[in-house]
Amino acid sequence: MAGVANDKPATAARIYDYHLGGTHNFPADRAAAQAITEMFPFVPLLARNNRAFLGRAVRYLASQGITQFIDVGSGIPTEGNVHEIAQEIVSEARVVYVDIDPIAVSESLDLLAGNDNATAIRADLRDPQAILDNAQLRKIIDFDQPVGLLMVAVLHFVADDADASRSVTELLRPLVPGSHLVISHGSAEGMQRDLTNLDSAQDVYKRDTATPFVLRDRAQVGSYFEGLDLVEPGVVWLPEWRPAAGDPQDFTDRPTESGGLCAVGVVR
C-alpha cells in the first residue's frame, strides 16, 4: 500500500485480510496475525472456510429471490465479494458493505467505483440504528422488500453478550418477512485442539485492536435466530452448511475443529 503510513494500529478487518492472503494490511496487522497463527496454526484455514461459507450463503439467498444485501463487518475487499457473487446471479442485486475500519470502507469504495448498485459505509455494529438510518444505505436498500442481512465473522468482536443480541435484534426489526439472516461466529465448542493459548490469543486482539473477540457456543449462536425459521441444516460448523464443489477440504472430516459455527434463518 504505497504512500500510506506503516504505523497504523492493527484492525480485525486487516488481520482477516492477511489470513486470507490479501495485501491490504500493515505491519501491525501482520504482527498480530502472525502471533495468532503461531498459537493456532489453523486460523488461516478457518478464515478461508468462513469466506467459503459466505459465498455459499449469498448464492443460496440469491437463489431464493433475495436481491439486496447488507454485509455488516464486511472487511477488506478480497476474492468472492458479496456484490460479485450476487450480481453474477442477479445483475441488479444491490449491496451495502458496513465496516468500522475506515481503510476497509475506502478500499471497498474504490472497488465499487462505477457500480451504482453497491456502496460501503463506515459504521459500528454496536450502534445498529446508525447503520439503519444511514442515508447511503437508505438510498440503495428498500426495506419494503426482503433483505439479506449478513453478519459473517463479526459478532464475536462484540464482547458483551447483551450488546451482540441487541444489535442483531435491532438490525432485524425493519426487515420484512422473507428476509434472511446469515451469521457465522467463532466457537471452540467440541474442539479437541489444545486451547491453552486461547487467553493469549484474545489478549492480542484486546491489546492491538479496538475489537477484542469472544467465542460463543451453539446455544448462544442459535439464540440470534430466535423467532426466525432456520434453513436446513440449522446451526452447524462451517464445512457442514450446504458444502459445494470447490470448497476448502481442511475440516470436512473433523468439522468441530473448524472453529466456526454458522446458520441462515428466514424472517417470518
* pLDDT tens readout for residues 218-240: 999 999 999 999 999 999 999 99
All 3 cell numbers of residue 63? Answer: 437463489
- pLDDT of 11-63, one tens digit each? 877 887 888 888 778 888 898 888 877 877 778 888 899 999 999 999 999 99
In this prediction, residue 197 carries a pLDDT of 61
Burial state string for 234-253 with b = 16 or more CB within 10 A and e = fewer than 16:
ebbbbbbbbbeeebbebbee
Overall domain count for the chain? 1
CATH of the domain at 143: 3.40.50.150
| CA 171 to the chain's CA centroid | 15
Q: Is residue 200 part of a domain?
A: no
Contact of 26 with 14, CB cutoff 8 Å: yes
Q: Where are the alpha helices (DSSP H) in the chain?
A: 12-19, 27-39, 43-63, 82-89, 102-111, 128-133, 135-140, 161-172, 198-208, 218-223
Q: ω into residue 233 within 30 of 0, thus cis?
A: yes
Q: Is residue 240 part of a domain?
A: yes
Burial state string for 8-23 with b = 16 or more CB within 10 A and e = fewer than 16:
eebbbbbbbbbbbebe
Mean pLDDT of the chain: 89
Residue 73's domain spans which residues? 44-193+216-267
To the question of pTM greater than 0.85 for the whole model, the response is: yes
Contact of 65 with 40, CB cutoff 8 Å: no
Contact of 97 with 105, CB cutoff 8 Å: yes
In this prediction, residue 56 carries a pLDDT of 98
Neighbours of 143 (CB within 10 A): 15
Strand partners, 94: 68
In this prediction, residue 67 carries a pLDDT of 98
Neighbours of 171 (CB within 10 A): 21
Q: Is residue 25 part of a domain?
A: no
Q: Is residue 236 part of a domain?
A: yes
Q: Is residue 19 part of a domain?
A: no
> DSSP states of 107-170 as a string?
HHHHHTTT-TTEEEEE--TT-HHHHHH-HHHHHH--TTS--EEEEES-GGG--SHHHHHHHHHH
Q: Is residue 227 part of a domain?
A: yes
What CA dihedral angle connects 122, 128, 130 and 132, to 10 degrees? 100
Q: Is residue 257 part of a domain?
A: yes
In this prediction, residue 97 carries a pLDDT of 98
Q: Which residue ranges in the chain fall short of pLDDT 70?
A: 1-7, 192-211
In this prediction, residue 53 carries a pLDDT of 97
Q: Is residue 96 part of a domain?
A: yes
- Residue appearing with cell numbers 444511514: 134
In this prediction, residue 1 carries a pLDDT of 39
In this prediction, residue 76 carries a pLDDT of 85
